[in-house]
Amino acid sequence: MSEVVNSACGSARWYLIQTKPRQEARAAEHLQRQQFECYRPVKHGEKKRGSRAPAEEELFPGYLFIHMDQASDNWYPIRSTRGVARIVTFGGMPVPVQDALIEQIRQRLLAPLAPPARVAFQEGETVRITAEGFNDVEAIFLAADGDERAVILLNLLQREQKVSLPVSSLSRMQVQA
């Protein structure tokens, strides 16, 4: 994550900057050199093959956030900064991003990653779909589709359909005595 503290914080807000393709780090670096506070959310992943440093993956490829006062700060230096494509606007005006959203992104990136869900269902087992909109519909578990998805057999309108859903949206049927 790239951050620099800006000394002018009066009525400063966060705004969204679109960067040139794969130039998020370059844009953040050049904006920080101009004393702008930037936030470039990245996920740190496994090391790439043949590399010593852990891989960084942009959370929002092609974008970064900048903290500034819309009324008093000059937008021209931002538009002419290396790596910056444009300031994201609606109706010609930059639209602020809520501080709470930036904080939520920061907290989420700091939280430890949960281990992927493991499929614990057996082929042919009756399961209940708990995803919103299905209202506890029953289906038959067919197979795992990777670590986080499952293929189920669903009876819809007198026809059986194979459907792939997240494992987290399935639950075991309760055995009734």
Alpha-carbon separation of residue 174 from 108, 132, 136, 151, 157 (angstroms): 34, 19, 12, 20, 25
Quick one: pLDDT at residue 24?
95
Quick one: pLDDT at residue 85?
95
Each residue's pLDDT tens digit in the chain (177 positions)? 444 334 344 578 999 999 999 999 999 999 999 999 999 999 876 656 666 666 778 989 999 999 988 665 678 889 899 999 999 999 988 889 999 999 999 998 887 666 555 557 889 999 988 877 777 788 999 988 877 888 998 887 778 888 888 888 888 877 665
Quick one: pLDDT at residue 10?
55
Return phi, psi of residue 80, to 5°: -100, 10
- CA geometry: angle 126, 131, 133, nearest 5 deg: 110
- CA geometry: angle 24, 28, 29, nearest 5 deg: 115
Quick one: pLDDT at residue 87?
92
C-alpha 175/C-alpha 177 separation (Å) is: 7
Q: Count CB neighbours of 81 within 10 A.
A: 20
Quick one: pLDDT at residue 158?
76
Q: Is residue 170 exposed (0-12), middle (13-18) or buried (19+ Cβ within 10 Å)?
A: buried
